[in-house]
């Protein structure tokens, strides 16, 4: 199978894997591992304000004040009992929008993070494009790394130099150093969320594979 990666979904790849490792992908994976029923990604805080149900909200790294939960896997872990069985509505700066964009191009859209790397890799049976959330249209090294990590586990053939670079990076450099040393990692550390950075750098913590279908992210 061919694998590509980048900040945009690419035509010609059946599967899209959305990667926003710090933190939307990791938050979604954790929510479903805690047996939330579904996550509904929305595209703006205004939409989030109007929904009736539990909410996850973040803008520019900070929790939206009217949201029930932040975009934080470790916050969700502390509220595991509340989340079980719930459908959660979610907005984040980059991640939820990336899911909606990927769904316009790819037949199948999965959510990938280091937390569920092996589980996602085992589901990739067709040509796959990793769609990285990045940061304001620029590469975010933690997303490139995570895309490369999953692509390598899946045994994909890189379609371009960028993807080959990501796969080698993920093989040769330690996840936690890359995540802590990243721009996003630094911003989160400054905001007192180093715990999230360390958690998101863990590999294969969960086995759930979130898939986006008909407006909702559910466990596959």
Residues that bind a copy of itself (CB under 8 A): 134-135, 138-141, 144, 160-174, 177-178, 180-183, 185-187
Q: How far is the CB of 169 from a copy of itself (least distance, A)?
A: 5
Closer CB to a copy of itself, 119 or 147, in the complex: 147
Q: How far is the CB of 5 from a copy of itself (least distance, A)?
A: 10
Using the structure block, give the residue that is written with the tokens 């086995």: 207
- Class of residue 159 by CB neighbours under 10 A (exposed 0-12, middle 13-18, buried 19+): buried
Closer CB to a copy of itself, 165 or 218, in the complex: 165
Closer CB to a copy of itself, 10 or 55, in the complex: 10
Closer CB to a copy of itself, 6 or 16, in the complex: 6
Q: How far is the CB of 72 from a copy of itself (least distance, A)?
A: 20
Closer CB to a copy of itself, 13 or 179, in the complex: 179
- Class of residue 25 by CB neighbours under 10 A (exposed 0-12, middle 13-18, buried 19+): buried
Q: Does residue 53 come out as left (phi exceeding 0), alpha (psi in the -120 to 50 range) or beta?
A: left
Q: How far is the CB of 200 from a copy of itself (least distance, A)?
A: 16
User: Would you mind telling me the total number of residues written for the chain in this entry?
Assistant: 220
* The two structure tokens encoding residue 199: 């958690």
Q: How far is the CB of 188 from a copy of itself (least distance, A)?
A: 11
* The two structure tokens encoding residue 187: 């911003």
* The two structure tokens encoding residue 11: 């035509």
CB 84 within 8 Å of CB 34: yes
Cβ-proximal residues to 36 (8 Å cutoff; 6+ apart), any chain: 83, 84, 85, 86, 87, 88
Q: How far is the CB of 172 from a copy of itself (least distance, A)?
A: 3
């Amino acid at each position: 199978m061919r694998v590509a990666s980048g900040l945009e979904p690419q035509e010609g790849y059946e599967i899209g894997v959305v990667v926003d490792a710090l933190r939307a992908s990791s938050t979604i994976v954790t929510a479903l591992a805690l047996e939330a029923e579904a996550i509904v990604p929305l595209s703006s805080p205004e939409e989030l304000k109007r929904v009736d149900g539990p909410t996850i909200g973040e803008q520019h790294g900070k929790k939206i004040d009217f949201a029930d939960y932040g975009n934080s896997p470790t916050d969700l872990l502390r509220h595991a009992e509340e989340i079980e069985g719930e459908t959660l509505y979610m907005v984040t700066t980059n991640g939820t929008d990336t899911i909606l964009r990927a769904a316009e191009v790819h037949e199948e859209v999965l959510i990938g993070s280091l937390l569920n790397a092996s589980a996602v890799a085992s589901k990739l049976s067709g040509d796959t494009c990793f769609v990285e959330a990045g940061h304001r249209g620029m590469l975010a090294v933690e997303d490139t790394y995570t895309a490369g990590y999953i692509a390598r586990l899946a045994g994909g053939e890189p379609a371009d130099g960028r993807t080959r670079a990501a796969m080698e990076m993920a093989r040769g450099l330690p996840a936690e150093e890359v995540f802590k040393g990243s721009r996003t990692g630094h911003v989160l550390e400054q905001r007192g969320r180093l715990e999230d950075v360390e958690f998101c750098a863990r590999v294969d913590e969960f086995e759930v594979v979130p898939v986006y279908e008909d407006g909702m992210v559910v466990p596959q």
